[in-house]
């Protein structure tokens, strides 16, 4: 199966495929990945035909006879989907006797690599997590040919995911796998998508997020294990930035009394440019700092920040689960590091800051909408000044 990739040094996409055990890479001379994929498939097809003709001139004839058989059965009205798949398998086996078929684990890995240049890092990680979880559930079948995975297998994946994950997460994972199989259909590796009929899981189990109070944030700051963590919590509560954006901040992001950042959230790797006025306590913490603002946090593995923050909440005696409504079916809300972003928004709302100003501060919009509020710079300063002192 031919794949495409691009290097930082070239604007063109390259084709990569394997012929007779040898990996081949060729430039497609195309800047469009769609065009490059088509050319890559042609490269591999031509190379494989040449290899087959060189090694066994009877193979093309055998494939031709299979195609003729399929045409005859189609004309007679006896060609079923199952029979067509069987004939396709015969041709694949004739063309690649050494290749039992592309398996899900391998193909999903190639698919994931192809997405790295096209989506935000967090989105790529979510795709990766969906693939890992699905492979773990499929077990040995993940290393069998793609065509061997059935609708029943995918129902099993959904069922097992639902035992340990929320409905929204299950649906996201299944949707990711559905996209992978659909890509395999487009690449002519399988006839139908086994994940297509899978229905959505109920999402009533999705957790509600709740903000911290000003007093709770002060306790979290007092329980911070290091000065770096103190600054991380402080900036999260007073700028509303996500953890991924905070951990990559440098002193260069501080322009006077304003934090300037191009966010990483969105369909692309970079989002809106935000200009967030800084609170006096944040400016005090930032004074004299150079380079990375959170070097130790930045160097940690994924999942470390949530783990450490859970300990901070415990030490500060701030509960991570609270009951919003009691009764036979109580409404439970969970709180985590991301709740500091909710806290920031709640502080603004409780201080009667207009919604459009809040949206500009949090970056909840595309660039076209962002441009409509360029006259709110003074309002942003007043909005930040309205936050409670921490």
Averaged pLDDT of the chain = 80
Matching residue, tokens 């260069």? 252
Task: 163-168: list long-range contacts, CB under 8 Å, 24+ apart.
Answer: 166/203, 166/205, 166/206, 166/207, 167/200, 167/201, 167/202, 167/203, 167/204, 167/205, 167/206, 168/203, 168/206
For residue 348, CA distances in Å to 33, 259, 360, 387 come to 43, 17, 12, 7
Q: Each residue of 222-278: pLDDT tens digit?
A: 999 999 999 999 999 999 888 888 988 999 999 898 898 876 544 334 456 788 889
* Residue of 186, 177, 221, 178 whose CA lies nearest to 40: 186
Give the residue among 347, 389, 53 at the shortest CA–CA distance from 361. 347
* Percentage of residues in the chain having pLDDT higher than 70: 78
- How far CA 111 is from CA of 104, 116, 140, 157, in Å, comes to 10, 9, 20, 19
State yes or no: pLDDT of 138 exceeds 90. Answer: yes
Contact 142, 105 (CB under 8 A): yes
Of the candidates 232, 202, 241, 195, which has an alpha carbon nearest to the alpha carbon of residue 343?
241
Three-state DSSP class for 335?
A: coil
* pLDDT (average), residues 63-75: 82
Is the pLDDT score of 130 beyond 80?
yes
Percent of the chain with pLDDT over 90: 29
* Tens digits of residue pLDDT in 276-296: 889 999 999 999 999 999 999
Measured in whole angstroms, the distance separating CA 140 from the mean position of its chain's CA atoms is 25
Q: Which helix (H) or strand (E) holds 28?
A: strand 22-30
> How open is the CA angle 263-265-268, to the nearest 5 degrees?
100
Q: What are phi and psi of 260, to 5 degrees?
A: -115, 130
Pair 205, 294: CB distance under 8 Å: no
Question: Measuring CA to CA, how many Å separate 337 from each of 222, 241, 246, 334, 344?
Answer: 15, 11, 12, 10, 12
C-alpha closest to that of 318 among 243, 233, 387, 240: 233
Q: Give the span between the Cα atoms of 168 and 172, in whole angstroms.
A: 6
| pLDDT tens digits, 299-355 | 987 678 888 999 999 999 999 888 766 555 556 678 889 889 888 888 887 777 667
CB 341 within 8 A of CB 236: yes
- Whole-prediction pTM: 0.51
Alpha-carbon distance of 310 to 313, in angstroms, equals 5
Lowest mean pLDDT among 108-117, 121-130, 245-254, 374-383: 374-383
pLDDT band of 186, cuts 50, 70, 90: confident
Nearest to 238 by CA among 207, 217, 222: 217
Give all domains of the chain, ordered by start, each with its CATH number: 100-206 (1.10.150.130), 210-385 (1.10.443.10)
pLDDT of residue 270: 47
Give the number of other Cβ atoms within 10 Å of residue 125's Cβ.
Answer: 13
The pair of structure tokens assigned to 84 is 């067509």
Query: Quick one: three-class SS letters along 379-390?
Result: HHHHHHHCCCCC
The answer to whether the CB of 130 falls within 8 A of the CB of 173 is: yes
pLDDT tens by residue, 23-49: 788 898 888 888 888 888 888 777 766
* The predicted structure's pLDDT at residue 266: 44
> Of residues 77 and 221, which shows the higher confidence score?
221
């Amino acid at each position: 199966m031919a794949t495409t990739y691009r290097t930082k040094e070239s604007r063109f996409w390259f084709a990569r495929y394997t012929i007779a055990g040898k990996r081949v890479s060729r430039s497609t001379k195309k800047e469009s990945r769609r065009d490059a994929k088509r050319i890559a498939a042609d490269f591999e097809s031509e190379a494989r035909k040449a290899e087959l003709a060189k090694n066994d001139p009877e193979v093309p004839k055998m494939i031709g006879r299979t195609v003729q058989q399929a045409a005859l059965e189609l004309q007679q009205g006896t060609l079923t989907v199952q029979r067509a798949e069987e004939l396709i398998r015969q041709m694949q086996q004739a063309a690649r006797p050494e290749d039992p078929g592309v398996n899900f684990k391998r193909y999903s890995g190639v698919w994931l690599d192809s997405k790295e240049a096209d989506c935000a890092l967090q989105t790529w990680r979510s795709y990766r997590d969906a693939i890992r979880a699905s492979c773990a559930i499929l077990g040995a079948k993940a290393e069998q040919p793609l065509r061997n995975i059935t609708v029943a297998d995918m129902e099993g994946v959904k069922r097992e995911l639902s035992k340990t994950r929320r409905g929204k997460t299950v649906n996201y994972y299944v949707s990711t796998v559905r996209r992978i199989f659909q890509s395999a259909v487009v690449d002519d590796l399988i006839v139908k998508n086994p994940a297509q009929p899978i229905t959505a899981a109920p999402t009533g189990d999705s957790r509600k997020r709740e903000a911290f109070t000003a007093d709770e944030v002060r306790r979290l700051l007092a329980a911070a294990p290091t000065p770096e963590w103190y600054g991380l919590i402080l900036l999260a509560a007073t700028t509303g930035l996500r953890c991924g954006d905070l951990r990559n901040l440098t002193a260069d992001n501080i322009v006077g009394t304003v934090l300037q950042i191009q966010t990483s959230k969105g369909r692309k790797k970079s989002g809106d440019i935000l200009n967030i006025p800084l609170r006096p306590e944040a400016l005090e913490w930032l004074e004299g700092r150079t380079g990375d603002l959170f070097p130790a946090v930045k160097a940690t593995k994924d999942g470390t920040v949530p783990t450490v923050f859970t300990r901070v909440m415990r030490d500060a005696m701030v509960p991570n689960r609270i009951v919003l409504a009691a009764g036979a079916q109580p409404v439970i809300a969970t709180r985590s590091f991301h709740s500091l972003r909710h806290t920031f928004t709640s502080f603004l709302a409780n201080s009667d800051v207009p919604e459009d100003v809040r949206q500009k501060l949090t970056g909840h919009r595309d660039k076209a909408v962002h441009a409509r509020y360029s006259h709110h710079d003074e309002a942003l300063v007043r909005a930040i000044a309205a936050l409670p002192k921490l």
